[in-house]
Chain A
């Protein structure tokens, strides 16, 4: 605001700063607008009747008692919903994927505990649950296929498929590989097993569906993008005369679970079509922990070959994952195969991955769905360091790609560029004071206490605009006649802070105050299609679209001002809501005055210029934008109880220039702590009959404020080739966090020869690793 008129805008006021979040006031004062806050006249509440068995045939369904209960308005089974058949589609997979027919409600058989069989609609949720309890379903129970091993050898989960293998992918045969292993100075092997996790956003899934007249279905949904929900419903129902409008203002976390609607949401829309009244379904926590899609449950067997200098020669990986019954896609986290080499020079490589169907809840993408590649690689590298007798950091330095190696074509074809794995590791190590820790560790060991230090380094493919739904994002920006700015953009926040970060970009480009910018991303009927959150891409893709659209609008302001003021556009800058002409302070005007000309005094516009102050850009980011990080943490393991205490955690990432460092650090911390949950606390488990055994928050343990360290953040900012130079950062903490922590625990327990490759490292598991249990 106080910039002298003769200085053109140079420094950004907002971009790069820890700007307070615009969304916080409403969220802190209880005025957020989440899906369960939506009520409508005549709205009924849905409750699903779910299968209590993992596998079996439906013999009979008796809904009469439920229908007769006062307050129950309808009970629907699959046969009823078939009046508007809606088939579910997968989001991931390839042409070779085997994907079963999936319908909103079970038809002839049930395939996991929680499989929805019927839906009860009632005046309130209490009565809907009363009604659901009255639906009697007779099942012909069959043995369940629960584990990966069950799936590999047991009965076929989906009768319409001839196998339980949803997809098998593999690198081409390398006939010389075995000779490399045979001739290697060091061969390191291990199988790392990651348990199943649940996403558990604090807000569960939920939807309100209401037919507006006959042609529009209005949906409020808890989702990762209203556009994705509208697209999905349109594909599922394929009704030419029905249009979908989806609204999602505030969403209480998602983490991949809500990347697309699934069976329940589709069933609710079908129910709304049938009953002709608004229908609400809010998933309860019991449903969320049993019937919502889940994540991980993977095992990876790795062989690494090194020469005498600890240089990597080859890797051989066998990867398996449990996709459950109804995964969001028939894909064994294919990116894990692509990304396993990570930031390392790896000359030879064999990888095979299989995803198996089972009678368990289906798999969904979860924050770094391919994260197992980093966990497997980084834990085995530290095992290699212990086995070879070399420092783990030194081993990495000998194998990491450097600036001189870039662009670096991975064996798997992806080209990594503008990443700094070596630099982030060096900065991290410099900050840590490793010698001091090693001295402390030695002293502690002498006193019977076990401290450990672990590292992990990774590179992450973000944005992933190499085809399909992630290809582009769109920003529509306008300056209202009042001078206020409205950005409608295809990003979507479930806590990501895009309402703030996108406004920062706009405010700087247009030289206006951030308070004057409102960001709208909540309505599929405004703006245009974009995939929203997913693939760590919103800063890159949405940010790029926003920057370019804002730039177009800034150009138009300058053109109008130049015309009106009879100045050259080059001399005009925008700052503080003002339009400044270099060296001519008295010619200063305001954005608001230019807006008035653009809308109200159109005769003053340059010849042929379109009226108004509006601009739009659909941005195609680079196909893959790589970010990277190195993390380290220290722990103390209580060898008496197997409890792990995290002492310190340092991160050093390179996500390019940061729009808002506080938002970046929030993303990293959230990911790291989910990773801590995965390593130490969280486990979705099933018994041999396929019954889930952790169905409440009493048994599904996620970290609390008491269980987390205070993170120390270091940053390196190497611009990417994207507009603004941004890189994605949303998922990385959850990818690099787990190997960091596992490595620290394994380092602490090195005197016991423990590898710590079976997660979660619960207290009993840790004692088993130590081998000192009775």
Chain B
């Protein structure tokens, strides 16, 4: 399990990185934390001609507040996010999701930009970004843009990023102060990809849902968003909403696949069950067992 030969360049700026991407049109890969890319290289499942190392770009890592949002630089390490006070305060779902990402040792290298760039459908970060309505800040040689998360995941491991474009940050807009954040996953062992994973945020004002974000991982070819369930919740009273019905609706917007660890029917069944129970617990509507 040794990688095929490739060239390696260190980018010392974002401009340099995206120019190198453009120069190698389709034959280059960005090396961020490397925790997914390097195994793919070792297995020769990825064989790029050039690796562009973005770890040494000044200012690409870091967590800051700006304009009612939390901006997390692309090469910010997962363990930094896990322990960051701004993330804990403003994006608690992201902090909790991070605890499920890989292991301590891989979180020391793994980055948020790498995870969002790869767009693994069973990974925690893409679904978290989807549930929370994050924006992807991206740069190409010609432009900087922000991509709404709903427009970002196009298919299995496929994103809206152009060939010469890289993620520079993920921007998580603030949710209301008392938002209920839920991160739950059913995984065989710590660090494993989820059989079923749920990230949700619910804003409740005066006992009524005013905003909802529901993202799933391990539940489809991409991270999945339950848009109809989100819409159906708005205006519903938290104390009496038909959670079983909402759970069914939420699952209808997923498209789980079968693999050696769990079949699609399992994922749908368990997804609906944990949605109903976890959300019920979180909003204080726990039915008797």
Chain A contact residues, CB within 8 Å of chain B:
125-126, 129-130, 133, 284-286, 447-449, 640-643, 681, 683, 685, 693-694, 696, 698-699, 701, 703-704, 706-707, 762-764, 767, 773-774
Q: Contact partner of A704 among B186, B189, B265, CB < 8 A?
A: B189
Instruction: Tell me the minimal C-beta distance from B1 to chain A in angstroms.
Output: 4
Given A641-B186, A641-B273, A643-B186, decide whether A774 and B2 contact each other with a Cβ distance below 8 A: no
Q: Contact partner of A285 among B1, B273, B277, CB < 8 A?
A: B1
B22 adjacent to chain A (CB < 8 Å): no
Which chain B residue lies CB-closest to A680?
B188
B150 adjacent to chain A (CB < 8 Å): no
B274 touches A640 (CB 8 A): yes
Q: How far is the CA of A683 from the CA of B272 in the complex (A)?
A: 27
Q: Which residues of A contact B268 (CB under 8 A)?
A: 774
Q: Contact partner of B4 among A125, A133, A704, A774, CB < 8 A?
A: A133
Given A284-B1, A286-B43, decide whether A774 and B269 contact each other with a Cβ distance below 8 A: yes
The 4 closest A-B pairs by CB, nearest first: A448-B289, A764-B266, A284-B1, A126-B2
B166 adjacent to chain A (CB < 8 Å): no
Q: Which residues of A contact B44 (CB under 8 A)?
A: 129, 133
Q: How far is the CA of A286 from the CA of B45 in the complex (A)?
A: 13
B190 adjacent to chain A (CB < 8 Å): yes
B29 adjacent to chain A (CB < 8 Å): no
A701 touches B273 (CB 8 A): no
Which chain B residue lies CB-closest to A638?
B186
Q: Contact partner of B189 among A285, A641, A642, A707, CB < 8 A?
A: A707
Which chain B residue lies CB-closest to A703?
B189
Question: What is the predominant secondary structure among interface residues of chain B facing chain A?
Answer: loop
B269 touches A701 (CB 8 A): no
B87 adjacent to chain A (CB < 8 Å): no
A773 touches B266 (CB 8 A): yes
Q: Which residues of A contact B189 (CB under 8 A)?
A: 681, 701, 703-704, 706-707
Which chain B residue lies CB-closest to A285?
B1
A767 touches B269 (CB 8 A): yes
Given A133-B44, A701-B188, A704-B189, decide whether A641 and B260 contact each other with a Cβ distance below 8 A: no
Which chain A residue lies CB-closest to B258?
A764
Q: How far is the CA of A696 from the CA of B193 in the complex (A)?
A: 14
- B258-283 near A? 1/0 per residue, CB < 8 Å: 00111101101110111001000000
Q: Which residues of B contact A685 (CB under 8 A)?
A: 260
Number of A-B contacts (CB under 8 A): 75
Q: Which residues of B contact A129 (CB under 8 A)?
A: 1-2, 4, 44
Instruction: Tell me the minimal C-beta distance from B252 to chain A in angstroms.
Output: 13
B1 touches A286 (CB 8 A): yes
Q: List 23 A-B contacts (CB under 8 A).
A: A125-B2, A126-B2, A126-B3, A126-B5, A129-B4, A284-B1, A286-B43, A447-B289, A642-B270, A643-B186, A681-B189, A683-B260, A693-B260, A699-B260, A703-B189, A704-B190, A704-B191, A706-B189, A706-B190, A763-B266, A764-B263, A764-B266, A773-B269
Given A774-B268, A774-B269, decide whether A681 and B2 contact each other with a Cβ distance below 8 A: no
Q: A126-B5, A447-B289, A640-B277 are in contact. List 12 more A-B contacts (CB 8 A).
A: A126-B2, A448-B289, A640-B273, A641-B270, A696-B39, A704-B189, A704-B190, A762-B262, A763-B188, A763-B262, A767-B266, A774-B265
Q: Which residues of B contact A704 (CB under 8 A)?
A: 189-191
B266 touches A701 (CB 8 A): no
B192 adjacent to chain A (CB < 8 Å): yes
Q: How far is the CA of A645 from the CA of B273 in the complex (A)?
A: 19
For window 233-289 of chain B, which residues contact chain A by CB distance below 8 Å? 260-263, 265-266, 268-270, 272-274, 277, 289
For window 191-227 of chain B, which residues contact chain A by CB distance below 8 Å? 191-193, 195-196
